[in-house]
Amino acid sequence: MPATLLDSNVFKDIFTTAEMRHVFSDEFRTACYLEVEAALARVQGRLGMIPQDATEEIANKCKVEHIDFAKLKATTERIGYPILGVVQQIVALCDKGLGEWCHWGATTQDITDTATIMQIRAGLDLIEADMEKIAAALADLSRRYRDTPMAGRSNLQQAVPLTFGFKCACLLAAMQRHRERLRQLRPRVLAGEFGGAVGTLASIGKDGLKVQEGLMQELKLAQPEIAWHTVRDRIGEVGGFLAGLTGTCGKVSMDVKLLMQTEVAEVYEPFHEGRGSSSTMPQKRNPIASLYIHANAAVVRQHAASLYEAAVADHERSTGPWEIEWIALPEIFLLASGCLRQTRDMLTGLEVDVARMRANLDLTNGAIVSEAVMMGLGPYLGRQRAHDLVYDICRVAAKENRPLVDLLAQDKDIAKHVPRAELEKMCDPASYLGLAGEMVDRVLKAEAAAKRG
């Protein structure tokens, strides 16, 4: 009976994805064990370390459909690890005692860690696919709303104007950096493990490194420079990467939630009949995807910390830290996958209210561009004098609910230097967007270059 949200028949496709569940399923993980054992037998057969007929027999029997999972469960509970149970079943399946050559010179952690790296490889492929779709959605929003002014916000207060395209391009640039991090970490992380009991390959002898090299070539993994049984930075790096990536998704969700507030109402999650409705307040349209993104990203960060805890391992084979990874790593990938999928779907169908963005810019009667006015008056009055004068006028405008430009034009010190027409231009939020458009273009240019490869 499912007991967690990640395998719940109700919630599982909200908090994660079927594709990632498959990667971390018993069947896929065991298939990876078997692929490693079969590859090891093939390499050792080529090197003459085990009989060729044993190689063929072992490889033929290393198929997941041959595994009795009920029996594997029982042996794992009894032994404490699944690898010996898998090997025992392969040995029993092989004819003429040839299965005795299976797992030759290997240790449990060799097979387990290499299989884990294979799962990570498959998981990162799924992560990358959703990253690309998120980047495409952000690029589209950046392009479409390049010149659409909206209020920039600081400490939840209106600050100065920017464009919605600029806001989206900032997030797109982060996704570009995550893409580069993924490209850089793959060669470091996607290295298998084959070292024997304490990593020295003593059980194999002089050809141990040849076996290791051939095994990694078979599995399309990098050959490690030295054993890493209890040096777990590879696994920690993956967790850190996914924590950072989902943190960016969390930033997206936070801004969408805030922009969906009734008093703001500038963007909305995609509309679906009944989605986000309240059981008691018919008028409500609550954020939904944003909530799941926020929750998943938060738990990924906490689980990533667990992987760094697992890095503090004892001697050459650890007594407990390793098993932390067994718990945390699959959940990190499952939650990250759900986080990315919700982000992708939300951004792809995001509803943007341009008119409301403009209306919100006008809420303060021009005070949102007080910085522009201060900078414009600075050459005539001095920066500090201009700051203090505009500050006082903004207070009056807010108290009396009057347009800032009217009060500016009535001030004698200002009027003798700047005509009303120029003041009106200073007070137009659309005229104070800085280099937002040029910066958006730079990010979009980088995205186009990345797509060209």
Active site residues: 278, 317
| Same domain assignment for residues 83 and 154 | no
| Same domain assignment for residues 394 and 285 | no
Domain assignment present for 119:
yes
Q: Return the pLDDT at 56.
A: 96
| Same domain assignment for residues 208 and 188 | no
| Same domain assignment for residues 324 and 247 | yes
| Same domain assignment for residues 295 and 444 | yes
Domain assignment present for 361:
no
Q: Return the pLDDT at 68.
A: 98
* Secondary structure of 247-292 as H, E, C letters: HHHHHHHHHHHHHCCCCCCCEECCCCCCCCCCCCCCCCCCCCHHHH
Domain assignment present for 176:
yes
Spell out, as residue ranges, where the chain has pLDDT lower than 50.
none
| Same domain assignment for residues 121 and 250 | yes
Render pLDDT for 245-295 as a digit per residue (tens, 0 to 9): 999 999 999 999 999 999 999 999 998 775 655 667 666 678 899 999 999
Cβ 65 vs Cβ 74: under 8 Å? no
CATH number for the domain spanning 298: value is: 1.20.200.10
Length of the chain: 453
Q: Return the pLDDT at 412.
A: 87
Render pLDDT for 373-388 as a digit per residue (tens, 0 to 9): 899 988 988 999 989 9
| Same domain assignment for residues 127 and 248 | yes
| Same domain assignment for residues 453 and 320 | yes
Q: Return the pLDDT at 279.
A: 65
Domain assignment present for 8:
no
Domain assignment present for 7:
no
Q: Return the pLDDT at 453.
A: 75
CATH number for the domain spanning 26: value is: 1.10.275.10
Q: Return the pLDDT at 1.
A: 83
Q: Return the pLDDT at 274.
A: 59
> In the chain, how many domains are there?
3
| Same domain assignment for residues 233 and 94 | no
Q: Is 272 exposed, middle or buried (0-12, 13-18, 19+ CB in 10 A)?
A: exposed
Q: Return the pLDDT at 415.
A: 87
Domain assignment present for 1:
no
Which H or E element spans position 180? helix 164-189
What letter represents residue 286's amino acid?
N
Domain that holds residue 272: 109-193+228-354+435-453
| Same domain assignment for residues 417 and 439 | no
Domain assignment present for 384:
yes
| Same domain assignment for residues 182 and 298 | yes
| Same domain assignment for residues 257 and 136 | yes
